[in-house]
Amino acid sequence: MGMKHFFRFCPKGSFLRLSQKYQPLGSRDLEGEPEDELELKAAEREKEITALPPKEACKCQIDDLANIFQVDLETGLSELSVLQRRVKHGWNEFVVDNVEPIWKKYLDQFKNPLILLLLASALVSVITKEYEDAVSITMAVIIVVTVAFIQEHRSEKSLQELNKLVPPECNCVREGKLQHLLARELVPGDVVCLSMGDRVPADIRLTEVTDLLVDESSFTGEAEPCSKNDCILTEAGDLTTLSNTAFMGTLVRYGKAKGIVIGTGENSQFGEVFKMMQEEETPKTPLQKNMDKLGKQLTLVSFGIIGLLMLIGWLQGKQLLSMFTIGVSLAVAAIPEGLPIVVTVTLVLGVLRMAKKRVIVKKLPIVETLGCCTVICSDKTGTLTANEMTVTQLVTSDGFKAEVSGVGYNGEGNVYLLPSKEVIKEFSNISVGKLVEAGCVANNAIIRKTTVMGQPTEGALVALAMKMELSSIKDNYVKKKEIPFSSEQKWMAVKCTRKNQEEEVYFMKGAFEEVMRHCSMFNSGGISLPLTPQQKAVYVQEEKHMGSLGLRVLALASGPELGRLTFLGLVGIIDPPRNGVKEAVQILVESGVSVKMITGDALETAWAIAQKIGLCNGKMKAMSGEELETITESALSSAVKNVSVFFRTSPKHKLKIIKALQKAGAIVGMTGDGVNDAVALKSADIGVAMGRAGTDVSKEAANMILVDDDFSTIRNAIEEGKGIFYNIKNFVRFQLSTSISALSLITLSTVFNLPNPLNAMQILWINIIMDGPPAQSLGVEPVDKDAIKHPPRSVTDTILGRSLVLKILLSAAVIISGTLFVFWKEIPKSGVTPRTTTMTFTCFVFFDLFNALTCRSQTKLITEIGVLRNRMFLYSVLGSILGQMAVIYIPPLQKIFQTENLGALDLLFLTGLASSVFILSELVKVCERFCCRTKTDKDQQERAV
C-alpha cells in the first residue's frame, strides 16, 4: 500500500526518467508490457531485496549475487532503487531506542532506600515542627542526588557512539558514476569501492580485489591484518575465515577492492553487537547494594526504637501519642543524614585521585567496586599488548642468533647478539646486517611519527632497521619491479639495482617453506654457499621453535634471480606485552585477583603472551571459542575458574565467559579496546577501556578508561577501591557510635524520668560535630598502601558487619558510661546547674573527638597511620576544640548554650576520661592483630603437616 501511495505522489514524467536509467537484471522479459505495470513490478522486486548474511554471501557466485541484489556491477543502482530500498531498510546507521528524559533520570536517583529514609525523616521533622532539621536533611539529600546525577549523566552513551564507527563518507558507484557519498546513505546492493586508509562503511561481499589487507583488530582482536580476496568459499566457518567479505567498521590497511553491500545498519555484524548491547543492563555495584541494605537496616532500627519506647510508655501509663512523638524524633536523629554526603564526597575524591593517575572513572560507585574485584578478564591485543608488531628474535642462515629490545614503531631499542649481548649496529655483523637489509628493501611501509603507513609486519621490519641504523639503506636501491604478496604464493619480492650500477638483485620475504623453494644457496659471513639438506633441516627446526613461541616467522633471501636466491635467515615478529604488565599481573594475583586473557588470536600466540606476563601455571589451561560454543552455562561456570587463556573468541563468547564467572559468584572486571569488547565491557561489573587505542564504542561502554593504556594502573585503581570502602566504614563507625551514645542518654533520661543531661542547643552542637567536618574528614583519609595486599572484599560483606557493630557498641558503651559518670559526679542535690550540663556536654564532645581519632583506621594504630597524615582531619578536630572553648568561655555563647567557665583541672580531667575510648579501641586493634597472627600461624602449621 505504501508503495502505491509513493507512485501516486511522484510526477510520472520524472519517475519514467529515473526508471529508464536503471533496468534490473531480467528486465527483457518485461518488454512489451505497459509502462505502469513495468513500474509496479520493478517496485515489487525492490521490496523483495533483503540483507544477506555474510556466511551465505561468501558462497555465492558474483553473477548470482548481483542477481539477488538486482544490481549491475558496472553501473550500480539507480537513484530510484536506492530510494525504494531505503523505505524498507532505512539509513545505514544505528537507531537508539527512545531514552528516558533527563528529569526522569534525576528522579530515579531518589529510589535509593537511604535517600527515601532521609526524605521520610524530613517529613516527620516538618510534622513535629522541627523545621531546621527538615531543611538541613532536604538540602543534604538534594546535594547528594545532584552530585551523583551530574557524575553519571554522561555514562550511558555507548549505543550512540556506535555511529562513530560508520565513516561519514564513502565511494560508491551509482548511475554509472563513481560518487562520493555519506556512508549513512548506503543500501543493500550498492557497489562500493575501497582503497588504503578507508574504513569499511557496511558489510561488503568483495567482487574485485587487488592486494587487499584489512585490519579487523577492533572486530576480532587479531593484530595482524587479514588478507582478502574475491574467491568463492565452499564452506562458511567462523567470521574470521570469510576472506571474501569486509565488515563494517574495519580498516583497509593496504590495496584496493570493489564489492556489493550485503548488510547495513543493524543488519551488519556490528549491528549484532549493537543489539547485544541494547539487551545488556549494567549490574548494580556492591556498594550500591550495601547502601541499600544499610538503609533497610537503619529503617528497621528506627521502627524498633519507636516500638520499644511506645511499649515502655504504655507500661508506665504515659500517653502513647507523646511517647510516639519522642520515639519518632529519636529515630530521625538516629539516621545518619551525613552518610550519603560522605559516601559521595569520598567517591568523588577517589575519582579525582584516579584522574591524577591517568584513569577516568565515569560512575562514582565503580571506584569502590574495584575493591571487590576477584577476576580481571583482559583482551590481549591493545590491552596486555601494545597492538604494535615488533621483531623480537633473529636467526641468520649461518647460525647467529640475536634478540631485539624495544616495542613499537619508534625505533627505540637495540639488537643484541647472543650469547654475548653485544649491541649490533649497521654491518658490524655482516650476516645480521644483510638479513635486516633484505627486510628493509623488500618493504612498502613508511613510519611517520611512530605511526606505520602500510602493513604492520613491514612496519616491524622498518623499525628493526631503525634500531640497526640501517633505515636509509633502502635509498641505495632503485626498485625496478615488484611481485606483490598473495595468499596463494605467500611471499613478495622486489627487483632492484644499486644506484649507479646495472647489476640486478632480488630481495624476497615470506613464509619459510615458500621462500626456501626459491633458494639454492645460504649466506655464511657474506659468502654464498650451496644449500644442503642438513642445513635445510636446521632451518626447519629453528622455524618450528620460533613458531612454538607464538612468533610470526618470516624468511628472507636475496640473489640475482628467482630460483637462485641466497637464504639469509629468519625473523620472529610478535605483538609483545606492554611494559609493566607482567609486574601488574603478579601483584594482582598475589592480592587474590585472578587474571584471564580473552583473545581472538590463535592458541600459540595467546599462550606465548600468557607465559611472558606470568598467567600460566601448572593448574591453568586454555579453552577455544569452539569449546565455548558447545559447553553448557552450568558446566562453564564450574570450569571457568581453572582457565587462564580463552582463544579464537567472538564478542558472544566474551559475554558468555563473563556471565559464567558472575554466576560462579565472581566480581568481574573486563578490559578491552575494540568494538568486539563493547558488549562484555557493559555487562561486566567493571568495564575498563583503553584511552589511546580504544574505539569510541569501547570507551563509552566502559565504566573506567585508562588514559595511557597502562594495564598496571588497574592495580592502583583496585588499591583505591579498597581504601574507599574502609573510609566509608570508618565514617559509619564514628557516626553510629556517636548517635547511639547521644540517643541512649536522652532515652535513658526519658524512660527513667531523670533530668536531661544535655539541652537542645548542646544536642544540636553535637550533631554538627557528628555530621560536620570531623566526620566528613574521615572520608578523605589517604589510602592505606597495604590495602592492595588484602584479599578482595566479599560482596556478601555488609558495611555493618559483626566486627564493626561490636566496635560501635563498645565505643558507645564507653561514651555513655563516661558521660553518665560525669553527670552523676557533677549533679548536686538541688538539681541540674549550668556547671553540670557544661561538664557533661564538654565530656561528650571530647569523647566524640577521641572516638573520631581512633576511627581513622579499623586495623592500624595511630602510631602507624600518623597523626599528621590526614590534615583535613587535624584541622577539623582543632576547629571543633576551639569551637567548644568558645561555647564555654565566650559570654554571648554561654547564654545560648547555658554553659559556664571551666577550670584547667576540669579540662585535664575530662581529657583524661575521654581518652579512654581511644585507648580501649587501640587495645582492641592490638588484640585483633595478635589473634589473626596466631590463627595464620596455626593454619600454616596444619598445611605443613
Q: Which residues are catalytic?
A: 379
Beta-ladder partners of 180: 171
Sheet of 668-672, strands arranged across: 359-361, 704-706, 686-690, 668-672, 375-379, 594-598, 643-647, 621-624
Q: Which of 444, 445, 437, 433 is nearest to 507 (CA)?
A: 437
To which residue does cell 558496472 refer?
74
Can you tell me whether residue 645 is helix, strand or coil? strand
Cβ pair 79, 175 in contact under 8 A:
yes
To which residue does cell 547521644 refer?
742
Q: Which of 100, 115, 124 is nearest to 146 (CA)?
A: 115
Can you tell me whether residue 681 is helix, strand or coil? helix
Tell me how far apart the alpha carbons of residues 569 and 552 are, in angstroms, rounded to a whole number: 14
> What sign does the CA torsion over 341, 343, 344, 346 have?
positive
Cβ pair 57, 232 in contact under 8 A:
no
Q: Which of 248, 132, 245 is nearest to 198 (CA)?
A: 248
CB atoms within 10 A of CB 806: 11
Name the grid cell of 637: 561456570
Tell me how far apart the alpha carbons of residues 42 and 84 are, in angstroms, rounded to a whole number: 10
Cβ pair 667, 795 in contact under 8 A:
yes
The packing angle between helices 338-356 and 713-751, to 10°, is: 160
Please count the residues of the chain: 945
CB atoms within 10 A of CB 602: 15
- Sequence-separated (6 or more) residues with CB below 8 Å from residue 53: 262, 263
Tell me how far apart the alpha carbons of residues 369 and 643 are, in angstroms, rounded to a whole number: 24
Name the grid cell of 250: 574495519
> What sign does the CA torsion over 829, 833, 835, 839 have?
positive
Tell me how far apart the alpha carbons of residues 355 and 488 are, in angstroms, rounded to a whole number: 50
Cβ pair 245, 206 in contact under 8 A:
yes
